[in-house]
Amino acid sequence: QKEVEQNSGPLSVPEGAIASLNCTYSDRGSQSFFWYRQYSGKSPELIMSIYSNGDQEDGRFTAQLNKASQYVSLLIRDSQPSDSATYLCAGVNTGGFKTIFGAGTRLFVKA
């Protein structure tokens, strides 16, 4: 079992809809979680960080963390074609030394 699991997709949503991306993790000691966006042929870029249970909002993006369920999600409101990318979920392991990534979910936003 991978330490960070994501559905590979692709997830397709119409422009203006809410895109919901999900991630589960196995390391119960993980305290910090991140969402990275990676456009095709480009490097990953950090878009959201979340450290405590609940929601963390930044513009159209909301990250959600539920440590009891070991579940992290990313909501993208008012999805735009420019949001089409692969979204990588990541967590820092117990001890805080390593960042482990999921395989990523491909998102397509249709105009």
Partner 1 sequence: DADVTQTPRNRITKTGKRIMLECSQTKGHDRMYWYRQDPGLGLRLIYYSFDVKDINKGEISDGYSVSRQAQAKFSLSLESAIPNQTALYFCATSGGRGANTGELFFGEGSRLTVL
Interface residues with partner 1 (CB under 8 A)? Answer: 6, 8, 32-34, 36, 42-46, 49, 51, 88, 90-92, 96-104
Q: What's the closest the beta carbon of residue 84 comes to partner 1, in angstroms?
A: 17
Closer to partner 1 by Cβ: residue 3 or 17? 3
Closer to partner 1 by Cβ: residue 17 or 106? 106
By the 8 A CB rule, do 5 and 25 touch? Answer: yes
Q: What's the closest the beta carbon of residue 42 comes to partner 1, in angstroms?
A: 8
Structure tokens at 31: 């305290």
Closer to partner 1 by Cβ: residue 102 or 109? 102
Q: What is the largest distance, in Å, between two alpha-carbon atoms of the chain?
A: 43
Sign, Cα dihedral of 11, 51, 93, 3? negative
Of 31, 45, 25, 27, residue with least CA distance to 88: 45
Q: What's the closest the beta carbon of residue 33 comes to partner 1, in angstroms?
A: 7
